[in-house]
Chain A
Amino acid sequence: MDERDLVFYGTPIEREEELSSRKKKAVAEASGQLRTLPTWKQEVRDEEGRRRFHGAFTGGYSAGYYNTVGSKEGWAPQTFTSSRKNRAELKQQSILNFLDDDEKADLEGQSLATSTQFDTFGFTASEVARKQADKEQDKRPSAIPGPVPDELVLPAAESIGAKLLLKMGWRHGRSIKDSSTDSLYDARREARKAFIAFSSSDDTKSNIDGDANHVNDHSNSLERPVNDDNLSSQYTPLNALQPKQDLHGLGYDPYKHAPEFRAGKAGPGFGIGALEEYDIEDEDVYTTAAYDFEDTVVQEVEDSSKPITDHKHRLTWKEPGILPGFKVASISDYQVEKFNAPEVPKDFVPRHKFAGPLKVEDKTAVPPPPDVPPPEDSNMKVLIEGVATLVGRCGKLFEDLSREKNQSNPSFGFLMGGNGHEYYERKLWEAQQKYKDQKKLPLPSDGKSSQKTEKMNAENRGKILGERPLERSSSSLVSPDVNLQSNLSDTFMKPLQFSELPEVSKPFKDNSAKQERFQQFLKEKYKGGLRSGESGGASNMSEAVRAQERLDFELAAEALEKANRGQQSNLSAQQSMDFLTSAGMQFTSAGVEQSKDTLDKDFEMKKMYPKREENQWRPSPVLCKRFDLVDPYMGKLPPPPRMRGKIDSLVFKAEFIPVPRIGDKTGQNQNRSSGGLQSSAQGVRDGSADEEEDEVVVDVENVERPVDLYKAIFSDDSDEEAETSKVSKVEDPEKKVEVANATLNRLMAGDFLESLGKELGLEVPPDLPPYSHTNQNPSALEKETTGLNPRDGSSVKMVAEVPKSMDDQSPPRGKLDEVKVVKITEEDRKQGSPPPSEDRMDRRHSKRQRRYDSISDSYSSSSGDDSDRDRYSSKSKGRRKKGSSSRDKKSSSSRKHSRRRHHRSSSRSSRRDKDRGESKREKRKRRD
């Protein structure tokens, strides 16, 4: 039976597994784009439900025509043909060109547009018309190829309200008010506008929206009714002219005080790439006044707004103090809260009190005119003095006035620089000085400071003391008495000042008699030229001493005065005093020097500069080469790089240890030898020294750091082997005693030494058989051989044999050479050279090193016998046994090996071991 023939009721119950899978699918489908699934499980399908993306193994992205291009025909490149008759259409790309159909549909769905049936006011129609016009214009050939840029024909951005109002007959700038005259007019205008709108295909430029105003204005001028006079009053201000696009506060003009930035940061042709940011360096440091970029740029900026704003009336714009677009409110709730200024206390004197007197500047600033004898004519003198006093009191103005007034009067000639002018000047100066003093006096009222009392003049003192002022001649204010008095006050004032000197400022306080004489001297000095005969000094003094003292006093007084004048503190005054007393004869006050300094500053600058310095500078070799010059530092060591920091320097030191060692070998050797002598005194260490010796060989040959470090520790005993052996020749009995002691001590100290070595983290020198001390050279060799052939039972025998072949005459050389290459030593021996000095030895070391290298190369070909293998195995054994404290020969030798292994990390050194072993063997063979 076919299922189709059956009728089903109800919903069949689905099986579990089916349900789950199908439901999932259903749910996924229902949710649309499989949104519930994680991203990587979602499938992308096209509108036909085909999978468009496959896995990498199933073809990847399938697109277009079977993963090729858009169509069956394939892809054809776009062609462009344009001829004079057949102008190519300039295609303008829009976003729609790049959208798929579905995307376009989406886009349309989102964009709102008035459908024609709801286009009540015909906006859309007009818009369509406008577009049509544009299109037609595009097709027409014009002076400017291509479409008219949209920027030129700007649609008015108007709100819908404005649009509605416009539709209702309102026009920009007019008040919204129903006026019968206007309405009639507007109706007419409306009709015209509609006509224009629909015939816009003829009119190239006119479109309802953009040019409505233009048309309006035009028509206004043509058939505007007579009510032009009240037109202005009907205008409503258009305020929001420029849409706000920035993030500044309302009315805030960021360029208000910096209009030069308004144009942007740089003019055309300047600036940097678009991807770079402006730095501080990119600022135009030069004042580019020659360019008017700002203007042009500003113009451009304004252009965009011009079509909108130009024809509008801005009534409220230019009012000062009001933000653009705002009006001042007539009624305001805002009241400025005013705070009264703080009340000035009544006793407040608005003048700053200086700690010290200002007198100094006055005195130093104006040099006094020379003292001139008064003119003979007493009337003249009186007149001059009177005028001077007045001028001094009242200022320069009085002088000018009186000069003008008495231009013709010959007796006032002194004012114009005639007779008695110098005297007048002097008197004027005196009067001014006096007046200044008087002016200054009332200000400081506290009598505490001694300086102020010093400035006291006779009148004030008289007042304080209750003295009656001297009787003045009643004839005139400007009697000569005034001058006399002032002079007197001066003369009295200064000695007083000195007599009241504080204890500290007494320059000769340790000599009371002298101090007294000094005070006397001061008093007399200010009295004038008259001096009593005995005043110059004590009567019992000789003429020369007196003159000397006089000189001292003079200088001391000068310094004292200076100290006071310079409003220095008591301390500094005392300092200068101390200086005076201590310096004795050479009085040169510091103040004078300082002034000199300022005077000569320029001169000194010139003298100081240019300064020349010379330093070492190392040109790099390449630089020398490029300059075609010989490197002045050729062959010299590179300079140590400059220390940058602590860490760097530390690193450096570690690295640089080897360098000086190679450089000054001689110093090293001296160290070694001295150290070696010390150590050779200790018999215990002698044995170890023997082994050290081949360590040294290694050191010299191999300049690696670890080895060198090791050398720094152990090399002491190395080269002095030669020395000690020499010494041993000379001081044989002593040596023998030493040796005997050593052999005794060895047994006892062995344990101790080993433990010490362990403590220091070093290998313990192995024990040596006693006979090695009789001749150290063979012992060294023996060590070598035993080390090389630890298993060889004949090692001891060999040791016994080796000394025979040795030339006793050249122990150090022979020893070292034999360790390395036999041939060389034999050569040297033939020459019969005396034992070389340490320097020579070093040279030979290096020489040998070179030779050795070549030889070792030649030898290396025959490396690989059993003995070698044996040796290495023993080495490894030795390493394993390192910790053991057994003192038999074998273990010690193996320990030695292990140590060597420690220090020779490079493969080359191991090869050298091998070579050495071979040379040994060869030697042995020859001897056998």
Chain B
Amino acid sequence: MSASDLPTKEANVLKGHEGAVLAARFNADGNYCLSCGKDRTIRLWNPHRGIHIKTYKSHGREVRDVHVTPDNSKLVSCGGDRQVFYWDVSTGRVIRKFRGHESEVNAVKFNEYASVAVSAGYDQSLRSWDCRSHSTEPIQIIDTFSDSVMSVCLTKTEIIAGSVDGTVRTFDIRVGREISDNLGQPVNCISLSNDGNCILASCLDSTLRLLDRTTGELLQEYKGHTCRSFKMDCCLTNTDAHVTGGSEDGYVYFWDLVDASVVSRFRAHASVVTSVSYHPKDSCMVTASVDGTIRVWKT
């Protein structure tokens, strides 16, 4: 994919959130997108047609992250009210509330089978919640982190989480090992490459770092944007050819994966770009910002 194919044209603006949008995520097939924000709501959109479909309200405070199961039937969300909500997508009802985090919950993800939700909290812990049973107690608490856990990613066999203590920790369930990669800088967000071999970690020194997962080697650093004080997402494009991420000045950056050059940058929002999410198949991207809008970008 060449740089000209990057999604730099604004296709739609999704307005509806009152206040900052903290996360925007495509669903598994990329037909829908979910967003959540400071207005305590989760919203479901059709980004391609620019339609607001549904609003999920139950959180008591801002919603920081949301994730949807691969079969689009359930949602999991978390936020400032220290709870993880397990929603039914169609009815919009909360099926379960997982309480246990001692502080705000920064991120949450389903596993492949949507049987477990893993949440990352400010209380320096990862908690895994059972979505199958009726238990509201965490299955397991991982509290080896020494600072707030900002982001979590799940593979089929691993739980990967990035923390402000500068580490990206991989918990391999199959082997029973914890691999801790210390980056020396607070990790804001982690993102897996589509081939699953690399982790992209957004650090608070305005640098994105690409790590080889097997060796823990630093493959590349991507600089140019500003990321010093906000939780901002980063991700790889669907082809793994480019790296993208937002900036605190409202810009969106595209880097070449290999030589780390800034391929493209454009002003996407008026304010901090909190979240970027790339379409799983097409060259399409959604960005969310503190200015209250979600924008859909296409080529």
A interface residues with partner B (beta carbon < 8 Å)? 267-270, 272-273, 276, 281-282, 284-291, 605-606, 608-620, 622-624, 626-630, 632-633
- Which of B18, B116, B290, B292 is in CB contact (< 8 Å) with A623? B116
Give CA–CA (A288, B293) in the complex, Å: 12
For A614, list chain B residues within 8 Å (CB). 177-180
Query: A610-B211, A623-B139 in contact; A617/B176 too (CB < 8 A)?
Result: yes
Give CA–CA (A272, B60) in the complex, Å: 7
For A284, list chain B residues within 8 Å (CB). 19-20, 38
Q: A270, B180: Cβ atoms under 8 Å?
A: no
For B182, list chain A residues within 8 Å (CB). 609-613
Give CA–CA (A798, B66) in the complex, Å: 80
- Which of B18, B128, B174 is in CB contact (< 8 Å) with A629? B174
Give CA–CA (A620, B128) in the complex, Å: 10
For A628, list chain B residues within 8 Å (CB). 113
Give CA–CA (A289, B180) in the complex, Å: 39
- Which of B116, B166, B216 is in CB contact (< 8 Å) with A626? B116
- Which of A288, A615, A623, A624 is in CB contact (< 8 Å) with B144? A615
For A269, list chain B residues within 8 Å (CB). 18-19, 39
Give CA–CA (A238, B224) in the complex, Å: 59
Give CA–CA (A270, B39) in the complex, Å: 6
Q: B181, A610: Cβ atoms under 8 Å?
A: yes
B31 at the interface (CB under 8 A from A): no
Query: A269-B18, A610-B211 in contact; A615/B111 too (CB < 8 A)?
Result: no
For B128, list chain A residues within 8 Å (CB). 620, 623, 626
Query: In whole Å, how far is B86's beta carbon from the nearest beta carbon of chain A?
Result: 14
For A619, list chain B residues within 8 Å (CB). 140, 171, 173, 176
Q: B140, A620: Cβ atoms under 8 Å?
A: yes
Q: B180, A286: Cβ atoms under 8 Å?
A: no
Query: A269-B19, A272-B60, A626-B139 in contact; A286/B178 too (CB < 8 A)?
Result: no
Query: In whole Å, how far is B70's beta carbon from the nearest beta carbon of chain A?
Result: 14
Q: Can you give 14 A-B contacts (C-beta < 8 A)?
A: A269-B39, A273-B60, A281-B104, A282-B80, A284-B19, A284-B20, A285-B230, A291-B19, A609-B185, A611-B182, A614-B179, A614-B180, A624-B173, A633-B176
Q: B177, A615: Cβ atoms under 8 Å?
A: yes
Q: B173, A289: Cβ atoms under 8 Å?
A: no
Contact with A along B179-205 (1 / 0, CB 8 A): 111111100000000000000000000
Q: B140, A605: Cβ atoms under 8 Å?
A: no
For A606, the closest partner residue in chain B by CB is B218
Q: A626, B111: Cβ atoms under 8 Å?
A: yes
Query: A288-B20, A610-B183, A627-B156 in contact; A616/B178 too (CB < 8 A)?
Result: yes
Q: A612, B178: Cβ atoms under 8 Å?
A: no
Query: A611-B181, A632-B176, A633-B176 in contact; A288/B140 too (CB < 8 A)?
Result: no
Classify chain B's interface size.
35 or more
B interface residues with partner A (beta carbon < 8 Å)? 18-20, 38-39, 60-61, 80, 104, 111-113, 115-116, 128, 130, 132, 139-140, 142, 144, 156-157, 166, 168, 171-185, 209, 211, 215-218, 229-230, 270-272, 290-292
Name 11 extra pairs, CB < 8 A, besides A610-B209, A611-B181, A616-B177.
A269-B19, A273-B60, A285-B229, A286-B20, A290-B271, A610-B211, A610-B217, A616-B178, A619-B171, A622-B140, A627-B157
Identify which of B171, B176, B217 gathers the most chain A CB atoms within 10 Å of its CB.
B176
For B182, the closest partner residue in chain A by CB is A611
For B269, the closest partner residue in chain A by CB is A290
For B111, list chain A residues within 8 Å (CB). 626-627
For A266, the closest partner residue in chain B by CB is B19
For A288, list chain B residues within 8 Å (CB). 19-20, 271, 290-291
Q: A630, B174: Cβ atoms under 8 Å?
A: yes
Query: A268-B18, A290-B270, A623-B128 in contact; A615/B180 too (CB < 8 A)?
Result: yes
Identify which of B19, B20, B217, B270 gathers the most chain A CB atoms within 10 Å of its CB.
B19
For B172, list chain A residues within 8 Å (CB). 617
Q: B181, A612: Cβ atoms under 8 Å?
A: yes
For A630, list chain B residues within 8 Å (CB). 174
Q: B271, A287: Cβ atoms under 8 Å?
A: yes
Q: B271, A617: Cβ atoms under 8 Å?
A: no
For B19, list chain A residues within 8 Å (CB). 267, 269-270, 284, 288, 291
Q: B270, A289: Cβ atoms under 8 Å?
A: yes
For B38, list chain A residues within 8 Å (CB). 270, 284
Query: In whole Å, how far is B137's beta carbon from the nearest beta carbon of chain A?
Result: 10
- Which of B139, B142, B173, B290 is in CB contact (< 8 Å) with A286? B290
Give CA–CA (A268, B19) in the complex, Å: 9
Identify which of A285, A608, A612 gathers the most chain B CB atoms within 10 Å of its CB.
A612
For A627, the closest partner residue in chain B by CB is B173
Q: B184, A609: Cβ atoms under 8 Å?
A: yes
Q: B218, A616: Cβ atoms under 8 Å?
A: no
Query: In whole Å, how far is A888's beta carbon from the nearest beta carbon of chain B?
Result: 61
- Which of A281, A608, A613, A623 is in CB contact (< 8 Å) with B179? A613
9 smallest CB-CB distances across A and B, nearest first, come from A269-B18, A612-B216, A617-B178, A632-B176, A609-B184, A286-B290, A620-B140, A611-B182, A290-B291
Give CA–CA (A529, B176) in the complex, Å: 71
Give CA–CA (A632, B175) in the complex, Å: 6
Q: A610, B140: Cβ atoms under 8 Å?
A: no
Give CA–CA (A273, B61) in the complex, Å: 8
Q: A627, B116: Cβ atoms under 8 Å?
A: yes
For B104, list chain A residues within 8 Å (CB). 281
Query: A272-B60, A290-B292 in contact; A626/B177 too (CB < 8 A)?
Result: no
For B111, the closest partner residue in chain A by CB is A627
Query: In whole Å, how far is B210's beta carbon from the nearest beta carbon of chain A?
Result: 11
For B272, list chain A residues within 8 Å (CB). 286
- Which of B80, B139, B184 is in CB contact (< 8 Å) with A610? B184
Give CA–CA (A618, B178) in the complex, Å: 9
Give CA–CA (A633, B173) in the complex, Å: 10
For B157, list chain A residues within 8 Å (CB). 627, 629
Give CA–CA (A262, B234) in the complex, Å: 36
Identify which of B112, B132, B139, B272 gathers the most chain A CB atoms within 10 Å of its CB.
B139
Give CA–CA (A285, B177) in the complex, Å: 37
Give CA–CA (A203, B132) in the complex, Å: 72
For A285, list chain B residues within 8 Å (CB). 229-230
Query: In whole Å, how far is B15's beta carbon from the nearest beta carbon of chain A?
Result: 11
Give CA–CA (A623, B173) in the complex, Å: 8
Q: B184, A605: Cβ atoms under 8 Å?
A: yes
- Which of A268, A626, A632, A633 is in CB contact (< 8 Å) with B115? A626
Q: A622, B139: Cβ atoms under 8 Å?
A: yes
For B128, the closest partner residue in chain A by CB is A623
Q: B140, A623: Cβ atoms under 8 Å?
A: yes
Query: A273-B60, A285-B230, A287-B271 in contact; A617/B156 too (CB < 8 A)?
Result: no
For B22, the closest partner residue in chain A by CB is A286
For A642, the closest partner residue in chain B by CB is B143
Query: In whole Å, how far is B242's beta carbon from the nearest beta carbon of chain A?
Result: 22
Give CA–CA (A616, B180) in the complex, Å: 11
For A267, list chain B residues within 8 Å (CB). 19
Query: In whole Å, how far is B109's beta carbon from the nearest beta carbon of chain A?
Result: 13
For B140, the closest partner residue in chain A by CB is A620
Give CA–CA (A287, B271) in the complex, Å: 8
For B173, the closest partner residue in chain A by CB is A619
For B80, list chain A residues within 8 Å (CB). 281-282
Give CA–CA (A629, B116) in the complex, Å: 13
